């Protein structure tokens, strides 16, 4: 198992009462597989993802990455070296260009990446469908689909084993949605993704 | 794309916000810069003036305290004399470079003529009694006047400790006095030590007794300070010429010689006056005013503090810097005002810059959350913001360094002119040899100069950047508390 959640509990304290979002939730994921979590709105999908990506911590229970508790790895370090996160609302830095957004995590990670990070970033964007011309534009000058592609490239840029995406097509039209899903399928088919 | 590069991109890509921050820091920086410039300038005035005034100090009666005493207090007051032992004890303090305590007397002569120089009409040298020679007693063998540059030994030698101790009949006279009377080192000359009686009824003086004093010339001196002044100050040339002539006719002798002559005067008086005879039996009639030269002007304050408890009642330490303290009012008020301005400006900068940075950070909350979601260390995110603020602050501070300095110059000029109308009073000013007493408020104001020196530049950058750092601390706490999930999901 690459990722495993054991007895996760997450709740909001509402006065005397606890409103559970996740209660004794356990789940595991194998390496090289593509998982989709479905559920009604408010069922705790985003909360689960935030716990799996170490953006938040559970009230009890543990998340294991390659059988090691992510708390022990360190949440920051885990996000830096082990997981790539894609958000519904892209979360790109608006004052940076597409290439600069991809370069940011490459300067943060401690994973081994080629020295010529700029070329790698251009290649990555090109593979995802962002040509050089667009890669040099500020991200707010790109369409929603293009911005999500940049977000995917950013998640891939640090050579992580795990990509977690929170409704990555939620803000896109149907045509774009399909294109993004196709990208994910293509990446999955490559197994241990390495685009350099 | 490390955090430093991100910081520089943050500055250049958000030009509007960077300019707003720059403007805020520039405006507040001007206040800080101006206040520091005034502080430095007033501080420099004190140092410059005190250096000019020198390191001389003496111990004398505190006339101000004496005047403020009631009649009853004065009646019961028993004044103690300043003993030689105490003078020596003070002289042994580590602040003292050298000191002397001596007496001065005036004598005439039938064997030598006083030095004269042509003065303008109506200005005469010497008095009717023909006692033109001032004898200055010396206890400090190398002669303080020579050490302090008032005069310079041109020929011969200074006194030996033996001569001082034994009161040997030797003298150092001015080169011009020697030339006028064809005297050389090794020659002798005779002075007339006379005891006068003054009649209040007739207003005439009669010689009660007199005796000759034969002195051997062991050295010749050349006045130094008077020479410069007569050359430089044409307006007051007559006054300085008189001072110069006085000095040319000064005869340095071991103090014991003068002490012996004083004793002789009192003994002559005592022959006619039993009250004086009684006094002579009870106490010594030697009164000394010591002069202490300290190692440097900064020593004056600790010296005064250390000497004060040793002194008898109603005595005080008098130094040249006392006069500065008396007339430094405008400078002190400006220094105080600049202190308050500096304090207010620093507090305003901390609050305003802190608020501006906090508002900008709230605006960039999402960006900061992205860095944290990518696993960036909070320390580096804090570092990025610090670099952004400090770079902008550095530019703002550098600009205000010059403008604030100019502003300070203009403001202080105006304030000085406003204070310059104050009247100066020399009433009650007592002259002490070696201690300058003619310092004016104008001298103080003339010494005031707002300049762009290294201590000002370093001081301003230090205070400015520290203030900005402090003002950024509160917004940085905001970053430390950021939760990326709440921002991004």
Asked if the structure places residue B91 within a domain, the reply is no
- pLDDT above 70 (res B129): no
Contact assignment for A79 to B1 by CB distance below 8 Å? no
* Average pLDDT, rounded, for chain B: 82
What is the domain partition of chain A in residue ranges? 1-81, 84-196
Asked if the structure places residue B432 within a domain, the reply is yes
Domain count, chain B: 2
Chain A nearest-CA distance from B383, in A, is 14
Give the residue-averaged pLDDT of B300-311: 87
Chain B nearest-CA distance from A157, in A, is 11
- DSSP track, B367-396: HHHHHHHTT--HHHHHHHHHHHHHHHHHHH
Chain A nearest-CA distance from B465, in A, is 27
Instruction: Report d(CA B145, CA B223) in Å as an integer.
Output: 9
Given B6, B9, B489, which is nearest A55 (Cβ)? B489
Contact assignment for B376 to A87 by CB distance below 8 Å? no
Q: B218 and B150 in one domain?
A: yes
- The domain covering A1-81 belongs, at the CATH homologous superfamily level, to P-loop containing nucleotide triphosphate hydrolases (3.40.50.300)
- DSSP track, B137-183: EESSTT-HHHHTTSEEEEEE----HHHHHHT-SEEEEEHHHHHHTT-
Asked if the structure places residue B90 within a domain, the reply is no
pLDDT of residue A168: 81
SS3 call for B271: helix
Q: Which of A10, A105, A150, A153 should one mutate to test binding to chain B, selecting the residue with the greatest count of B CBs within 10 A?
A: A105
Nearest CA among A187, A190, A112 for reference residue A155: A187
- pLDDT above 50 (res B292): yes
Alpha-carbon distances of B83 from A119, B87, B211, B285, B345, rounded to whole Å? 92, 6, 29, 11, 54
pLDDT of residue B419: 60
Domain boundaries, position B414: 3-52+328-488
Asked if the structure places residue B345 within a domain, the reply is yes
pLDDT in tens, B237-284: 666 667 778 888 999 999 999 988 888 888 888 887 777 777 777 766
Task: Determine contact, residues B41/B448, Cβ cutoff 8 Å.
Answer: yes
- pLDDT above 60 (res B488): yes
Q: Which of B364, B369, B370 should one mutate to test binding to chain A, selecting the residue with the greatest count of A CBs within 10 A?
A: B370
Chain B nearest-CA distance from A104, in A, is 5
- DSSP track, B33-52: HHHHHHHHHHHHHHHHHHHH
Establish if B482 touches chain A: CB-CB under 8 angstroms. no
Task: Choose the weakest-confidence range: A65-74, A106-115, B138-147, B204-213.
Answer: B204-213
Check: pTM over 0.90? Answer yes or no: no
Given A46, A85, A89, which is nearest B373 (Cβ)? A85
pLDDT in tens, B7-33: 999 899 989 999 999 999 999 999 888
Given A87, A93, A94, which is nearest B488 (Cβ)? A87
Q: B377 and B475 in one domain?
A: yes
With tokens 């997981």, the residue in question is A83
Contact assignment for A104 to B1 by CB distance below 8 Å? yes
**Which residues in chain B (350-409) have CB-CB distances under 8 A to chain A?**
366-367, 369-378
With tokens 């705790």, the residue in question is A44
pLDDT in tens, B28-48: 999 888 888 888 888 777 777
Chain A nearest-CA distance from B373, in A, is 7
Other beta carbons within 10 angstroms of residue B105's beta carbon come to: 19
Final residue in a domain of this structure, among B270, B286, B302: B286
Confidence tier at B62 by pLDDT (50, 70, 90): confident
Confidence tier at B78 by pLDDT (50, 70, 90): confident
Given A46, A76, A96, which is nearest B377 (Cβ)? A76
pLDDT of residue A54: 92
Residues 6+ apart with CB under 8 A from B354: B471, B472, B473, B474, B475
Contact assignment for B373 to A79 by CB distance below 8 Å? yes
**CATH architecture, domain defined by A84-196:** 3-Layer(aba) Sandwich (3.40)
Contact assignment for A55 to B370 by CB distance below 8 Å? no
Q: What percentage of residues in chain B have a pLDDT greater than 70?
A: 86
Instruction: Report d(CA B255, CA B144) in Å as an integer.
Output: 13
Given A50, A76, A117, which is nearest B489 (Cβ)? A50
- pLDDT above 80 (res B165): yes
Asked if the structure places residue B351 within a domain, the reply is yes
Q: B482 and B416 in one domain?
A: yes
- pLDDT above 60 (res B125): no
Chain A nearest-CA distance from B301, in A, is 59
User: In chain A, what residues touch B369 (CB-CB under 8 Å)?
Assistant: 91
Q: B124 and B13 in one domain?
A: no
Higher-scoring residue by pLDDT: A117, B240: A117
Contact assignment for B374 to A108 by CB distance below 8 Å? yes
Given A85, A87, A107, which is nearest B1 (Cβ)? A107
Confidence tier at A192 by pLDDT (50, 70, 90): low
Confidence tier at B420 by pLDDT (50, 70, 90): low
Instruction: Report d(CA B396, CA A37) in Å as an integer.
Output: 53
Q: Give the burial class of B140: count Cβ atoms within 10 A of its Cβ; 0-12 exposed, 13-18 middle, 19 or more buried.
A: buried
The total number of residues shown for chain A amounts to 196
Chain B nearest-CA distance from A164, in A, is 12
Element (H or E) spanning B464, and its range? Answer: helix B454-480
Confidence tier at A73 by pLDDT (50, 70, 90): very high
User: Taken in order A136, A140, A144, A150, is the CA torsion positive or negative?
Assistant: positive
Given B2, B374, B489, which is nearest A79 (Cβ)? B374
pLDDT of residue A194: 46
Chain B nearest-CA distance from A179, in A, is 23
Confidence tier at A106 by pLDDT (50, 70, 90): very high
Establish if B15 touches chain A: CB-CB under 8 angstroms. no
User: In chain A, what residues touch B484 (CB-CB under 8 Å)?
Assistant: 55
Q: B207 and B112 in one domain?
A: yes
Task: Determine contact, residues B156/B184, Cβ cutoff 8 Å.
Answer: no
pLDDT of residue B235: 52
Q: Which of A92, A96, A109 should one mutate to test binding to chain B, selecting the residue with the greatest count of B CBs within 10 A?
A: A96
pLDDT of residue B237: 61
Give the residue-averaged pLDDT of B128-136: 75
User: In chain A, what residues touch B17 (CB-CB under 8 Å)?
Assistant: none
Q: What angle do CA B48, B53, B56 make, to 5 degrees?
A: 135
Q: B217 and B135 in one domain?
A: yes
Instruction: Establish, for the pair of chains A and B, how many residue pairs have beta carbons separated by less than 8 Å.
Output: 69
Contact assignment for A95 to B367 by CB distance below 8 Å? yes
Give the residue-averaged pLDDT of A63-79: 92
Q: How far apart are the first and last CA of chain B?
A: 25
| Tokens (6 digits) for A7 | 């007895």
Asked if the structure places residue B47 within a domain, the reply is yes
Alpha-carbon distances of B26 from B23, B33, B403, rounded to whole Å? 5, 10, 9
Final residue in a domain of this structure, among B286, B312, B341: B286
Q: Give the burial class of B222: count Cβ atoms within 10 A of its Cβ; 0-12 exposed, 13-18 middle, 19 or more buried.
A: middle
Give the residue-averaged pLDDT of A80-86: 91
pLDDT in tens, B333-367: 778 888 898 899 889 888 998 998 888 888 888 89
pLDDT of residue B158: 92
Asked if the structure places residue B88 within a domain, the reply is no
Contact assignment for B374 to A80 by CB distance below 8 Å? yes
Confidence tier at A195 by pLDDT (50, 70, 90): very low
Chain A nearest-CA distance from B8, in A, is 12
* Average pLDDT, rounded, for chain A: 87
Q: What percentage of residues in chain B have a pLDDT greater than 90?
A: 21
pLDDT of residue B128: 47
User: Taken in order A109, A113, A115, A120, is the CA torsion positive or negative?
Assistant: negative
Residue of A nearest to B380 (CA): A108
| Domains A1-81 and A84-196 are alike in CATH topology | yes
Residues 6+ apart with CB under 8 A from B327: B424, B439, B440, B441, B444
Task: Determine contact, residues A2/A65, Cβ cutoff 8 Å.
Answer: yes
- Strand boundaries in chain A, DSSP class E: 3-14, 17-29, 60-65, 68-69, 83-86, 162-165
Q: Give the burial class of B45: count Cβ atoms within 10 A of its Cβ; 0-12 exposed, 13-18 middle, 19 or more buried.
A: buried
Asked if the structure places residue B436 within a domain, the reply is yes
**Which residues in chain B (48-67) have CB-CB distances under 8 A to chain A?**
none
- pLDDT above 60 (res B1): yes
């Amino acid at each position: 198992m690459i990722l495993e959640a054991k007895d996760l509990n997450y709740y909001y304290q509402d006065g005397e009462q606890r409103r559970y979002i996740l209660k004794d939730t356990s789940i595991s994921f194998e390496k090289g597989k593509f998982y989709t979590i479905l559920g009604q709105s408010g069922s705790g999908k985003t909360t689960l993802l935030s716990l799996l990506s170490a953006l938040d911590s559970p009230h009890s229970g543990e998340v294991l990455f390659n059988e090691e508790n992510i708390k022990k790895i360190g949440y920051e370090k885990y996000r830096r070296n082990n997981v790539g996160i894609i958000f519904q609302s892209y979360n790109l830095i608006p004052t940076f260009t597409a290439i600069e957004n991809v370069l940011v995590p490459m300067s943060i990670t401690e994973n081994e990446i080629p020295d010529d990070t700029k070329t790698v970033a251009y290649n990555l964007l090109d593979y995802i469908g962002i040509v050089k011309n667009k890669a040099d534009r500020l991200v707010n000058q790109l369409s929603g689909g293009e911005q999500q592609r940049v977000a995917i490239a950013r998640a891939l840029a640090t050579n992580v084993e795990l990509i977690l995406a929170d409704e990555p097509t939620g803000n896109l039209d149907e045509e774009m949605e399909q294109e993004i899903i196709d990208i994910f399928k293509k990446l999955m088919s490559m197994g241990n993704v390495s685009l350099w | 794309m490390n955090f430093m590069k991100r910081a520089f991109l943050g500055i250049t890509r958000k030009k509007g916000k960077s300019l707003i921050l720059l403007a805020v820091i520039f405006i507040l920086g001007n206040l800080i810069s101006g206040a520091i410039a005034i502080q430095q300038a007033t501080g420099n005035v004190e140092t410059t003036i005190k250096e000019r005034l020198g390191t001389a100090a003496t111990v004398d009666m505190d006339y101000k305290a004496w005047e403020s005493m009631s009649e009853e207090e004065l009646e019961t007051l028993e004044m103690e004399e300043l003993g030689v032992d105490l003078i020596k004890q003070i002289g042994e303090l580590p602040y003292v470079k050298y000191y002397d305590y001596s007496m001065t007397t005036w004598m005439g002569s039938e064997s030598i003529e006083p030095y004269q120089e042509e003065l303008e009409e109506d200005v005469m040298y010497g008095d009717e009694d023909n006692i033109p020679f001032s004898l200055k007693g010396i206890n400090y063998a190398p002669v303080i006047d020579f050490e302090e540059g008032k005069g310079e030994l041109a020929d011969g030698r200074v006194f030996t400790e033996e001569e001082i101790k034994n009161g040997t009949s030797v003298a150092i006279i001015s080169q011009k006095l020697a030339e006028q009377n064809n005297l050389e080192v090794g020659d002798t000359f005779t002075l007339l030590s006379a005891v006068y009686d003054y009649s209040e009824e007739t207003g005439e003086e009669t010689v009660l007794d007199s005796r000759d004093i034969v002195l051997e010339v062991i050295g010749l001196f050349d006045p130094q300070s008077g020479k410069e002044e007569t050359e430089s100050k044409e307006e007051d040339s007559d006054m300085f010429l008189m001072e110069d002539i006085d000095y040319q006719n000064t005869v340095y002798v071991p103090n014991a010689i003068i002490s012996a002559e004083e004793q002789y005067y009192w003994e002559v008086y005592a022959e006619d006056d039993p009250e004086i005879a009684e006094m002579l039996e009870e106490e010594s009639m030697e009164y000394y005013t010591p002069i202490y030269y300290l190692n440097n002007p900064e020593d004056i304050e600790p010296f005064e503090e250390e000497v004060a408890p040793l002194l008898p009642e109603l005595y005080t330490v008098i130094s040249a810097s006392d006069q500065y303290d008396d007339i430094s009012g405008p400078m002190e008020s400006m220094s105080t005002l600049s202190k308050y301005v500096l304090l207010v400006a620093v507090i305003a900068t901390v609050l305003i810059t802190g608020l501006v940075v906090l508002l900008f950070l709230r605006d960039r909350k999402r960006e900061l959350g992205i860095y944290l979601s990518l696993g960036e260390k909070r320390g580096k995110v804090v570092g990025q913001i610090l670099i952004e603020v400090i770079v902008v602050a550095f530019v703002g501070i550098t600009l205000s360094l010059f403008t604030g300095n100019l502003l300070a110059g203009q403001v202080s000029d105006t304030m000085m002119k406003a204070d310059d109308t104050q009247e100066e009073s020399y009433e009650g000013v007592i002259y002490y040899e070696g201690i300058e007493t003619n310092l004016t408020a104008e001298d103080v104001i003339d010494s005031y100069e707002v300049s762009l020196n290294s201590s000002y530049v370093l001081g301003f950058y230090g205070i400015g950047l520290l203030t900005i750092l402090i003002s950024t601390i509160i917004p940085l706490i905001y970053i430390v508390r950021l939760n990326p999930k709440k921002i991004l999901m």
